[in-house]
Amino acid sequence: MNNPQQPRLTPIDEWEDEATAMLDGVEYDTELGLRMARDAIRVSNGELSDAEFHEKYHDEVLAEFGEDERPTKPEGFDDD
């Protein structure tokens, strides 16, 4: 293994920088990806419900990707 695989531990604050770097150059909305990533963690730890998360980003996801197939879709949610 060479240097690029050098293990290290990254504080969570710096992890957001890493997430930014991961999305750098992606052909989709980088800022949307970062916001969704941040809120997805909030869903995991119970600060936000699946339904709230889905509704919060539905319009933006639809606009960016032309579809929204996330499994967080609440029952009876109106795609239109």
Partner 1 sequence: MTNYGLVIDQERCIGCQACAVSCKQENNVPMGQFWNRVLTEGGDKIDTPSGGYPEDGGSGSLDMQYQPTACQHCENAPCVKVCPVNATYTRDDGIVEIDYDKCIGCRYCMAACPYNARVFNWDEPEHMPEEGTGDVAARPQGVVEKCTFCSHRVDEGLDPACVVNCPADARIFGDLDDESSTVSKYINEYETDQLLEDRGTNPKTHYISGEMSPGRPQTSDKLESELDDVSPWSDGTEDVPSEASGSDSSDSGGGHHSIEGDAVPHVPAVGSGGDD
Interface residue list for partner 1 (CB under 8 A) = 1-2, 4-13, 15, 18-23, 26-28, 33-34, 36-37, 40-41, 43-46, 50, 53, 61, 64-65, 67-72
> CA-CA distances (angstroms) from residue 73 to 4, 33, 41, 54?
39, 18, 17, 6
- In angstroms, give the least distance from the CB of 80 to partner 1: 17
Within 13 Å, how many C-alpha atoms sit on residue 25's CB side? 2
- In angstroms, give the least distance from the CB of 50 to partner 1: 7
Q: What span, in angstroms and rounded, lies between the C-alpha atoms of 18 and 8?
A: 13
- In angstroms, give the least distance from the CB of 6 to partner 1: 6
